[in-house]
Amino acid sequence: MLRITHLNKHIVAALLASVWFSGPVLSQETLVDDLLRQLREAEPGQSARIEEAIRTEWSKSGSATIDLLFRRGQDAMAEGAFDIAVEHFTAAIDHDPSYASGYSGRANAYYRLGYIGPALDDLQHVLVLNPENFVALRGLGVILEEVGRYDEALAAYQAVLALHPNEENALQAVERIQAETQGEAI
């Protein structure tokens, strides 16, 4: 009997630990879902604050190492050291291949370096991991527009607007592409 009680204590402790450690993940997902809802319903003046809160939540990896590598990548981007940014974002991805923000950051760095193919590949990874990532959708729209794939770019920008109706760059891009594809001057 003593052995069974001892085993039950371990099972209960393991169960409690799993619930404890899964709590923050669930609350982060709930928070992002709530912020995305707020973003869809926001007035134009409120959107920037909500977008920043979403981006902050998306950047949280749950690992101090990955968070540090991501911040170093962002710092390198801010300094214009895009090749170094690629290295930091790649290291973050190597630590956790499911970390969508690592791919997003690296896609931006690749784009700045003129590496369109790798940027598109990374944006695809982001959207597989996080289909509601309007930042990746916007990046996809920019690249597709640049290479003259206007129908696909328009679809990407419209997907951004479905998530973030006040996204000014996407609004302007939709108008620009519609004018271009209708033969009007931009």
pLDDT level of residue 69 (50, 70, 90 thresholds): very high
Does some domain include residue 68?
yes
Tens digit of each residue's pLDDT (9 = 90 or more) over 22-59: 444 446 678 899 999 999 999 888 899 999 999 999 99
Question: Is residue 13 over pLDDT 90?
Answer: no
Retrieve residue 163's tokens. Answer: 């998530």
Closest CA to 171 of 132, 148, 138: 138
**How many domains, the chain?**
1
CATH number at residue 127: 1.25.40.10
Question: Is residue 19 over pLDDT 60?
Answer: no
Tens digit of each residue's pLDDT (9 = 90 or more) over 129-184: 999 999 999 999 999 999 999 999 999 999 999 999 999 999 999 999 999 888 65
The C-alpha atoms of residue 55 and residue 105 are separated, in whole angstroms, by 12
Does some domain include residue 2?
no
- 3-state SS of the chain: helix, strand, coil percent to 5? 85, 0, 15
